[in-house]
Amino acid sequence: MAIPYNRRTHKCGELRAAHVGQKVRLAGWVDSYRDHGGMAFIDLRDYTGITQVRFNPEGNAAALELARSLRAEDVIVIEGTVVSRGTNINPRIPTGEIEVIGEALDLLSKAEPPPFEISDRTDASEELRLKHRYLDLRRPVMQRVFRMRHVIAKTIRDYFDANGFVEIETPFLTKSTPEGARDYLVPSRVRQGSFYALPQSPQIFKQLFMVAGFDRYAQIVRCFRDEDLRADRQPEFTQLDMEMSFVQADDVMTMVEGCAKAIFKNALGIDMTTPLPRMTYQEAMDRFGIDRPDTRFGLELQDVTDLVRGVEFAPFKEAAGSGGVIKCIVASGGEALTRKVTDGLTEEIKGIGGVGVPIVKVAAGDAGPTFATGIAKHLEPLAAAICARTGAKPGDTIFFMPGTYDEVCKYLHHVRTRLAEILKLIPENRWDLLWVVDFPLMTYDPDEKRWFSTHHPFTAPMDEDIPLLDTEPNKARSKAYDLVLNGTEMAGGSIRIHQRDVQARVFNLLGISDEEAQLKFSFLLDGLKYGAPPHGGIAFGLDRWVMMLAKMPSLRDVVAFPKTQRAVCLLTGAPTPVAAKQLDELALISKAPPA
């Protein structure tokens, strides 16, 4: 008689010494088999863990025969009695004090040998894992990741629900908008020649919810951007998108801090201290060279422009003479900084558009610190002054960078993060969460000779900086805020413009004419006409939160069915060509050669 697999008494990770003597019924996958002829062990796995099942003639001779034919990933259901393992306990698994004597066994589904071992220590390539993602996801580590993802998503929903937010869905088939990332387009069949765009974010819709009087909105929503992929960028990704009415920036940040605190508590059991530290954009750039500083380690940037401006070293003279800066990073632990390592850093800087990174090593001289190697001969007379300014001590290495402020920030940020890795300065299990505030409203693109929104065009300028829009727009700060965790941007948001005249002035500065603005954003601008409350919000990258908290190296590890770098799904093969009839219905002709 078949074993009723729909009546499991326990999961495979649940049994303990306290269950000894009980009759149990378990189902799952064969993790491994150890066939001793007259006796056989089956490790039975489900998402909760592993239980060892022992088959022997005393339990059931027929079941032993069947058990000896089992192979990895066969799906079975067993009945038996929990017994103590006595002196044979396995301390490596939580159920290791007990085993189940197999008294009945049904094979529910025979498995072909899998293309790779279903285990946390599998050595299969990512390519193979993605092709057979359903097997990859069966691995315990992936089960943990996606269950943590669920916990985070549920925490977010519960938190915002408890705070009076309402979740409302926004369209996926929507309107292509000019600025920002490249849109994914969807052709219209009933209006041939016209296209929908998949949303890059529900930004405008959530603002209209505020106009509509919903007061507080939060949605976990998919967003789409057709740009090149990276380890931390997928073409479709998930955001927690939220918006609040009648608030200032502080109110949004306080609300988000509560959510972040709940996420850390529920996902990792960690109590975060709030309120979180805040840093201005300018301070972040000055000290770390990046608007998302990793504050888990030192190696801060230090300005020595005034000290070295007279030095006979062409790159320094050029930078100092043309309004640029010379900054440096002081690193201790010089033993690891061999010639090979510092030369490697120079190559990396060249690889991202720079020239290199000149260095000196600090030594102890009779009359104070001296410099050696690198550009020491140019700086020797200033050794004492530079060490006094920067705190460099004998044995330290100083990495210099001359250039424009932006160049120095970009390259020294790279040097700083690489040095932290090389010198192993990044503490494990530390979570540095902070706000970066006071972003510039706009940044100038010298190539395109025009202004771009730092955040997005609906971000409000600071009230006291509104007059600067007409005089020095580069100095106008915005009511934007970014949440940064260990050097990664986790969320970004702002207070929005709710006055049409201010919105019009910002559009003008961005080179968007009234006519163009009306054409592209009329649905927002019209909305703002009819009584828009002051409002603001934020968006979290949910995938990135999971990736960080689960300590996974790639976003692909926290998305169930991710795309490769060329935006292909290795499981389904998408994207694929379509039938000529489908293109006909959409009035489309493909210029690409047949695949």
Residues forming the site for RNA (CB under 7 A): 32-39, 41, 43, 52, 54, 56-58, 68, 71-72, 85-86, 88-90, 92, 96, 99, 113, 115-117, 121, 123-128, 177, 179-182, 200-201, 203, 225, 227-233, 351-353, 452-457, 554, 556, 564-566, 568, 570
Min separation Cβ 49 and RNA, Å: 13
Give min distance, CB of 6 to RNA, in A: 28
For residue 171, the minimal CB distance to RNA (Å) is 14
Q: Which is nearer to RNA, 88 or 192 (CB)?
A: 88
The least distance separating RNA from the CB of residue 581, rounded to whole angstroms, comes to: 25
Q: Where are the alpha helices (DSSP H) in 423-513?
A: 468-471, 500-509
| 42 versus 386: smaller Cβ distance to RNA | 42
**Based on CB atoms, which residue is closest to RNA, 203 or 370?**
203
Residue 420 contacts residue 300 (beta carbons within 8 Å): no
Helical (H) or strand (E) element with 126: helix 126-131
Q: How far is the CB of 563 from RNA (least distance, A)?
A: 8
Name residue 290's amino acid: I
Give SS3 for 263.
helix
Cα 542 from Cα 148, distance rounded (Å): 11
* Nearest approach, Cβ of residue 384 and RNA (Å): 37
Helix (H) or strand (E) holding 216: strand 216-224
Q: Rounded to an integer, what distance in angstroms lies between the CA atom of residue 489 and that of residue 500?
A: 30
Closer of 202 and 369 to RNA (Cβ): 202
Q: Return all residues near 405 (Cβ < 8 A) that are at least 6 apart.
A: 285, 324, 325
Two tokens, residue 483: 């949440």
Closest CA to 139 of 41, 31, 34, 44: 31
Comparing CB distances to RNA, the nearer of 55 and 160 is 55
Among 453, 460, 451, 441, smallest CA distance to 207 is for 460
Closer to RNA by Cβ: residue 37 or 391: 37
Question: 522 or 564, CB closer to RNA?
Answer: 564
**d(Cα 514, Cα 506) in Å, to the nearest integer?**
11
Burial 528-543 (b: 16+ CB within 10 A, else e): beeebebbbbbbbbbb
Least distance from RNA to the Cβ atom of residue 35, Å: 5
Cβ closer to RNA: 352 or 367? 352
Helices (H), 489-560: 500-509, 514-529, 542-549
Closest contact distance (angstroms) between CB of 377 and RNA is 31
Neighbours of 15 (CB within 10 A): 24
